[in-house]
Structure 1
Amino acid sequence: MMIGRLLHYCSPRARRLVIAELSFVVVAAVLQGIAFLLLVPLLRSLFVGDLDASWGWLIAVGGTAAGYVAASWFASQIGMEASTAVLDSLLERLGDSVVSLPVAWFSTDRTGLITGLATQGAMFVSTMPYAILRQILAGFIAPGTVLVGMYFFDWRLALAMTVMVPIIVIGYRWLSRRIGRGDKAHSVAVAEASNRVVEFARAQPALRTAGEGSIADRLVDQALEDQHNQYRGLLMTGGSAIALFAGLVQLSVTVLLIVGAFLAIGGTVDIAILIALLVLGVRFNEPIVAAGDLGGGVAVAKTTIDRLDELAAVPRLPEPEHPATPTDFGIEFQGVTFGYGGDPVLRDLSFTAPAGGMTAIVGPSGSGKTTITKLIARFYDPEVGTVLIGGVPVPELGTDVIERAVAPVFQDVYLFDDTILNNVWIGNPDLSREEVIAAATRARVDEIVARLPSGWDARVGEGGSNLSGGERQRVSIARALLKDAPVVLLDEATSALDIGNEIVVGEAIDNIRADRTLVVVAHRLQTIMTSDRIIMLDGEGGIRESGSHAELLAAGGAYARYWRERVEAAGWKLTHHD
């Protein structure tokens, strides 16, 4: 049931408020139905001229109506507070779900999905109890109360109405399912369109060099067109379903009128009661039709709840009940095979990165260098084999221990649209401003700050767009320094940097080495040469050679050839710049 599913995502306070609100709604609807039923004996007493009885019935109607007004007022007041509490609960549960998801889940762009849930979806669901369920409950409970009361006045008219109840219920459920399917498809299209628009905005520097009519333009246009088509389909299917439901409700009125006419012709019904009951029957078809219109809103809210259920159902990485403690921070791979759900990128890979030393990972593109760092950071668990830190398998340490112990610095550095200082500060929010600046200075971020008018309080732009790639990486290295984690993973990627930034990033790496286990996907010759251990991958998921720089050069194998090629290429670059 939709209400039960909503309450599952509510905090205890929000749950109490929603239950209280709906309870008052139910009481108000029942009192409304009773008030209208009391009009039947009131009209009959007026019809026969019994004024004494009329006064009694009028007082009863007035008292019931007053109770209805009071219950409606309480439902309204509690409803507004409940909507705020439900919104807070949904956003909190969404946030908890997002931070507990394995990092691998975010490997594809989920911006549109999360944005939709956090904005329109959560807002719509939070207002549903007050704006939709309240009217649906009133639309069915008040007429239901009248229908039950009709049996006390004329069972034949009541039975005629009762016969139509299953048909109306089936029609309502069909309407909800039909609109729900349409909204689910529309929700997927909206998420895809959001992803494309965000991607289009982020890639503007590259797209402007491609000119108009690029593939990105076509992808955005296609996504928006698909969203438009899905929305148009939702309107058409929803409109036809609502019209059919309204027809079923009107059919019940027709049945009531026909039965009433036969009873009147046969003289077997009190005319005053017949007129009053027919008026009530016609009057209470209107809220049922209105409830049918709003039934689509429940289906739309169900789509959001379904999305939250899907997030909750995403498999999490196993966590230990009692996390182990590593003996040191050396890293070991034992027979690791991993392939992102497809062909293995790493095959039966085994090596050791000694504690307190720097291990460089080199090899051809696509050989699994970055994958190794992601397995150490526990973005994934291996399909086969074990990754250990300090002699303890990573699953026995748990994600929280890994997050505290490991500071990753990857190529795709993301900075928040905030100040330079705050982007470094998130590495350790407990430190003072002076301590943050000191760590950032060690990563040479002070040189970036010196050229900006606002200094440390200069904003970096969305994703760090106001800074160059090398400058963004310096900020990321400063975060790692500030975190002071014993293990640092660095996807150096200095091959894409200008010579000035390459030198500065190299010096920042030297600053981060002290007393840390450093695993570097190395491109810079100085980094490779000064590493304590070098792991050279073979491009087929395994290791071709491993050892120190001097040992591998002396062996005269694949690494020695790789080194000579890099040195010659670097020498050519230096000659070219001269």
Structure 2
Amino acid sequence: MIRMLLRVLGHEYARPMRRTVAVMTATAIAEGLSYALLVPVLRALFGSTPAAAVPWLVAFGAAVAGYAVLRYRSDLSGFRVGTTLLRGMYHRLGDHLARLPIGWYSAGRVGEVSVMASRGLLDTMGVAAHLLAPFISACVTPLTIVAVMLAFHWQLGLAALAAVPIVAAIQIWTGRSMAAADAERHERDHEASGRVIEYLQAQPVLRAGGRTGERFQLLDDSLREVQRASRRLTLSVLPGVVGLTLAVQTTFTVLLVLGASLALGGQIGVAEVLTILVLAARCADPLLSLADIGGKLRGARSELARLDAVLRTEPLPEPREPIQPQRHDLEFDSVSFRHGDRTVIDGVSLSVPEGQRLAVVGPSGAGKSTLLQLVARFYDVDAGAVRVGGVDVRGVDAEGLMARIAIVFQDVYLFDGTIEENVRLGRPDAGEAEVRAAATAARLDEVIDRLPGGWAAHVGEGGALLSGGERQRVSIARALLKNAPIVLLDEVTSALDPVNEAAVHDGIERLMAGRTVVMVAHRLRTVRRADRIVFLDGGRIVEQGSHDELLRRGGRYADYWNLSLATATSE
């Protein structure tokens, strides 16, 4: 586990961790060696001159005091390293997650990462603070005591040494038997968490359909599976705990019988036998604690393995010598992209001159949003190239690319803070006048004026305290404040009421002015004002041209337009 922990920590934190392990090991050895002074103490006490034990008692007291100092420094080092590692690992995990491709974030994986970033990291990094010192002490101190026993009486020392491989075998066997049960428990926990969230979020739908009883049964079944998995995990630990206890007690009994036999044969004195038994008793306590510590370490190791798997996931490669585009035109050159077994984009070639607008239309699942994501390099293409200003986006560093692009999604996510804080995400160093101007251009000022608190009004988690149209206005204000030369719009007005749609459309028009724009749109007036329209279906361009040209051809776009026009008229 230590090797995996050092690999996860990286070079920056591995060295302090090694120092901490060294201090803890030295502390455990010092504890074992201090017990060696019990040999002359007991020998003198049971000998003809008990007063001779006084110097040895003083030496024993000094050794215990020295061990106490080491133990204090060891524990303090563990807590400090644990705290530092926790803070550092949060930053490292966050930086790594920010570099992973968007396609990596499936629905199930987001929940798994959220658990890992909270409880998982606490359990893993808590190893240094809470588990490492007891574990090292439970392993090293008994071995040191056995070495003392070997030096004192080789026969009794060998008898004690024989228990070492037995204890190690029990620990290894217990760890292997727990691995499957622990994996099952993690899977059941993950499933139950999803069921709980699903049950809570689906309350309006379930109550409207009168299906609360059925859905509760599904949740109850999931929780019951967690209970069964927990029982199996506990049962898998039990043989190891019992086996370890029996091994320790059996070893102590063997030493007692062997010592008594040697004493009766005159080969060893009573004081020596008592000393061996005292040392053996000191071995028993840390060894018996191995069962509890080992179980906690195995749980932490499972979390560590999952963390290691995430950190070893390759992010999108960054160019060694980034190129900064000097223009802001866009080009798709024979682009193909697959998501799993499905081809989403198939040999698409098109260009968007600087300052012009491209509208992408087509049925659901045609790959429209994926085109936008490829421009922003949320994914890397499987074939062909996406270029910004004639430069392949893979040759531009992530920060430089995103500085040139403003994105407004259909589903807007706002952070749990004030409206001003969410707008400033577009450009944190913007002045107050610039922020206010962006809000006015997006018609966000109308929302701010009617909200209690104005600019300081909190939007709630995910923007839950605002309506969809209000969230969209915040998103547009954020994009306006960023003032990027390339704008990507993904069906930003598809689910808005007429009032909010008009306000958002005004903001979008200001955002698009003078910029290179690629927009996925369904609304008639938005599509009509594009310089060029591409109809996408099955990941391929079916037809392209201006609005009037496509209508004259009477093809797929014309059918789409007529259907949209009929729908708008009926509304």
Question: Does 1:37 find its partner at 2:44?
Answer: no
The farther-off stretch of 45-54 and 517-526 is 45-54
Aligned equivalents of 2:270, 2:113: Cα separation in 1: 61
**Letter paired with 1:476:** S
Q: Indicate whether 1:556 and 2:522 are aligned.
A: no
Structure 2 Cα separation of the partners of residues 437 and 196 of structure 1: 43
Partner of 2:465: 466
Match of 1:406 in 2: 405
Aligned residue for 2:538? 540
Question: For the structure 1 residues 225 and 416, does the alpha-carbon distance in structure 2 shift closer, same or farther, using more than 3 Å as the test?
Answer: farther
Backbone CA RMSD of aligned residues: 2.3
Deviation at 1:451, TM superposition (A): 2.3
| Aligned counterpart, 1:93 | 92
Question: For residues 345 and 82 of structure 1, do their structure 2 counterparts lie closer, same or farther at Cα, with a shift above 3 Å needed?
Answer: closer
What residue is the counterpart of 1:113 in the other structure? 112
Aligned to 1:483: 482
Residues 557 and 78 of structure 1: CA distance in aligned 2, closer, same or farther (over 3 Å):
closer
* Cα distance in structure 1, aligned partners of 2:216 and 2:502: 38
Structure 1 residues 441 and 110: CA distance shift in structure 2, 3 A = farther
User: 1:302 maps to which residue?
Assistant: 301
Assess, with a 3 A threshold, how the Cα gap between structure 1 residues 7 and 208 changes in structure 2: closer, same or farther.
Answer: same
Could you say if the C-alpha distance between residues 432 and 560 of structure 1 is closer, same or farther in structure 2, counting changes exceeding 3 Å? same
Residues 86-110 of structure 1, C-alpha deviation per residue, up to 9 Å, x if partnerless? 2112212221221121122124343
Check the 8 A contact 1:21/1:74 in 2, yes or no. Answer: no
Comparing 65-74 and 249-258, the one that deviates more: 249-258
Counterpart amino acid of residue 455 in structure 1: G
Alignment partners' CA distance in 2, 1:503 and 1:529: 16
In structure 2, do the counterparts of structure 1 residues 100 and 198 end up closer, same or farther at CA, with 3 Å as the change threshold? farther
Letter of the structure 1 residue corresponding to residue 468 of structure 2: G
Q: What residue number does 1:154 align with?
A: 153
Q: C-alpha displacement at 1:360, in angstroms?
A: 0.4
Q: State whether residues 331 and 388 of structure 2, in contact with CA within 8 Å, keep that contact through their aligned partners in structure 1.
A: yes
In structure 1, the residue matched to 2:226 is 227
- Give the equivalent residue in structure 2 for 1:576: none
Q: What letter corresponds to residue 167 of structure 1 in structure 2?
A: I
Task: Give the aligned residue type for 1:295.
Answer: G
TM-score normalised to structure 2 length: 0.94
SS at structure 1 position matched to 2:318: coil
Moved more, 501-510 or 109-118: 109-118
Closer, same or farther in 2 for the Cα pair 1:331/1:495, shift >3 Å?
same
Q: Deviations over 1:44-64 (max 9, x none)?
A: 122122245322322221221
- Work out the CA distance in 2 between the residues paired with 1:298 and 1:402: 43
Partner of 1:369: 368
Q: How does 1:272-351 map to 2 (within 5 A)?
A: 272-351=271-350
For the residues of structure 2 that align with 1:20 and 1:426, how far apart are their CA atoms? 41
Correspondence 1:166-205 to 2 at 5 A: 166-205=165-204
Match for 1:541: what amino acid? G
Using the alignment, how far apart are the partners of 1:215 and 1:415 within structure 2? 34
User: Is this contact kept in 2: 1:17–1:79, CA < 8 A?
Assistant: no
Equivalent-residue separation in structure 2 for 1:409 and 1:351 (angstroms): 22
Number of residue pairs the alignment of both structures matches: 571
Is 2:212 the counterpart of 1:213? Answer: yes
Q: Deviations over 1:100-121 (max 9, x none)?
A: 2112212434343222222222
Shift of 1:518: 0.8
Matches of 1:529 and 1:37 in 2, distance apart? 91
Partners of 1:334 and 1:216 in 2: CA distance: 49
Deviation at 1:13, TM superposition (A): 7.7
1:518 maps to amino acid: V
In the TM superposition, what is the alpha-carbon distance from 1:224 to its structure 2 partner?
Answer: 3.4
Contact 1:112 1:193 in 2 (8 A): no
Question: Is the Cα–Cα contact under 8 Å of residues 171 and 248 in structure 1 kept in the other structure?
Answer: no
CA 1:382–1:17: 2 relative to 1, 3 Å: closer
Letter in 2 for 1:540: G
Residues 463 and 471, structure 2, Cα contact 8 Å, conserved in 1: yes
SS in 2 for 1:551: helix
Deviation at 1:221, TM superposition (A): 4.1
Give, in angstroms, the shift of residue 215 of structure 1.
Answer: 7.5
Distance verdict in 2 for CA 1:23–1:59, change over 3 Å: same
SS at match of 1:338: strand
Q: In 2, Cα distance between the equivalents of 1:93 and 1:550? A: 52
Displacement of 1:11 in angstroms is 7.5
Provide closer, same or farther for how the CA distance between residues 135 and 491 of structure 1 changes in structure 2, counting only shifts above 3 A. Answer: same
Are the structure 2 counterparts of residues 9 and 491 from structure 1 closer, same or farther at C-alpha, using a change threshold of 3 Å?
same
CA gap 1:430/1:180 in 2 versus in 1, 3 angstroms: farther
Q: Does the C-alpha gap of structure 1 residues 92 and 214 become closer, same or farther in structure 2, counting only changes over 3 Å?
A: farther
Deviation at 1:15, TM superposition (A): 4.8
**Are the counterparts in 1 of residues 8 and 308 from structure 2 also a CA contact under 8 Å?**
no
Instruction: Flag structure 2 segments of 5+ consecutive residues without an equivalent.
Output: none
